Amino acid sequence: MGRLVAGVELRLVRMPLRTPFQTSNGVSTERDILLLRCVGAEGEGWGECVAEREPTYSSEYALGAVDVLRRFLVPLLLAAQVESAEEVAPVLAAIVGHPMAKAAVEMAVLDAALRRRGESFGQFLGATRSRIPAGVSVGIQPTIPALLEVVGAFIDEGYLRIKLKIQPGWDVDPVRAVRQRFGDELLLQVDANAAYDLADAGTLRRLDDFDLLLIEQPLHHDDLRQHARLAGLIRTPICLDESIVSARSAADAIALGAASIINIKPGRVGGYLEARRIHDVAHAHGVAVWCGGMLETGLGRRANIALAALPGFTLPGDTSASDRFYSRDLTDPVTLDADGHVAVPVGPGLGALPDPDALDDYTVETWWVDGT
């Protein structure tokens, strides 16, 4: 059997969004996405780095990931001659930080290994369902009437849960409007992307009136104690996102009472193996988890759907259909069933490969790194 990884191609693609997507961190009209292709003697595997163009969500950004991958992470990977995804994190541990870049490496190695043995991501991770309920994330809109139109369209498409991005000045009124228009039965949650501080507890308490599933990351990412204090001041369950970077931090947050729900984003925590460990910690403590999204292409979306089929994922995640963000995806589209579910991929590895024509059309630059 030949080497699993003999060389790595990095590919930066730029994909226009169907509509501008606004959060408290800013507005995006297109997405720079770094893809990683591991090439070996018996095939290839694909990874997707979710670092954004600018370091606004986290300290990582796409071109920074290119640099650390070319200079450090890929050479370490090739020198180690890894044969499984479980070897990746220990090999890359000498480099501090850069979880999104490391997650892309692990994802590509895992995809290659699973394709080689004919096993799907879902089978490997421990999926217990063949399909999962899908939610959708709605960015900050220019007006409340525009918000109601967008939310109504997603409900008509069949999405089972709506997440509204909020920020100071765009919180109570839009949430009230959505609840009044679409009723108490709608599964509704909000995401602050760390836009508030504890002094805003009075405003956040007003959201208790709307029977939300959760409020996601209201305070700064390193404010676990402050989140624990906020949990005692509001009824709406607090979900942590940016604060959870590992199974260890998840255990700390649970112990402190800072989170009753956790959003798991594999890229943020360094990969799907650590994401599964966070799931296991939360599940053991009776804490619900759901799978967040980072505007992934069909590659990353399929991996997230497989992860979200584990038993502890009891809330609909940001696992929308391919056409939510992109008019043309890199892979065959992920589609929404009539009753608001998406199917867990069953093919080897990710269950799909990028379309070469789409890759060519969207590619901005490529780099090749091998062991020579």
Q: How far apart are CA 85 and CA 236, in angstroms?
A: 38
Annotated active-site residue 265? The verdict is yes
pLDDT recorded at residue 21: 73
SS3 266: helix
* DSSP symbols for 50-101: ---SSTTSSS--HHHHHHHIIIIIHHHHHHHT--SGGGHHHHHTTS-S-HHH
Strand arrangement, sheet containing 215-216: 135-138, 161-165, 187-191, 215-216, 238-240, 261-264, 288-291
Amino acid at 283: H
pTM: 0.94
Q: What is the pLDDT along the chain (372 residues), one digit of tens a residue?
A: 579 999 999 999 999 988 777 676 677 788 999 999 999 988 999 999 999 999 988 999 999 999 999 999 999 999 999 999 999 999 999 999 999 999 999 999 999 999 999 999 999 999 999 999 999 999 999 999 999 999 999 999 999 999 999 999 999 999 999 999 999 999 999 999 999 999 999 999 999 999 999 999 999 998 899 999 999 999 999 999 999 999 999 999 999 999 999 999 999 999 999 999 999 999 999 999 999 989 899 999 999 999 999 999 999 999 888 888 888 999 998 989 989 999 999 999 999 999 999 999 999 999 999 976
Q: What is the DSSP letter of 173?
A: H
Dihedral of CA atoms 98, 103, 105, 106 in degrees, nearest 10, equals 140
DSSP β-ladder status, 238-240 and 215-216: parallel
Q: How many CB atoms lie within 10 A of CB 356?
A: 9
| Residue 184 CA, distance from chain mean position | 27
Enumerate domains of the chain plus CATH numbers: 7-118+355-370 (3.30.390.10), 123-343 (3.20.20.120)
pLDDT recorded at residue 372: 62
Answer for the pair 239, 218: CB distance below 8 angstroms, yes or no: no
If you search the block for the tokens 């208790």, which residue do you land on?
208
pLDDT recorded at residue 23: 77
Q: How many CB atoms lie within 10 A of CB 171?
A: 23
pLDDT recorded at residue 66: 98
Q: Is the dihedral of CA 277, 281, 282, 284 positive or negative?
A: positive
Phi, psi (5° rounding) for residue 82?
-65, 150
Annotated active-site residue 102? The verdict is no
CB within 8 Å of 199: residues ≥ 6 apart:
none
pLDDT recorded at residue 222: 87
DSSP β-ladder status, 131-133 and 215-216: unpaired
Q: Is the dihedral of CA 161, 166, 171, 177 positive or negative?
A: negative
Q: How far apart are CA 148 and CA 308, in angstroms?
A: 28
Phi, psi (5° rounding) for residue 90?
-60, -35
DSSP β-ladder status, 215-216 and 187-191: parallel
Catalytic residue among 265, 268, 277, 341: 265
Catalytic residue among 116, 165, 221, 302: 165
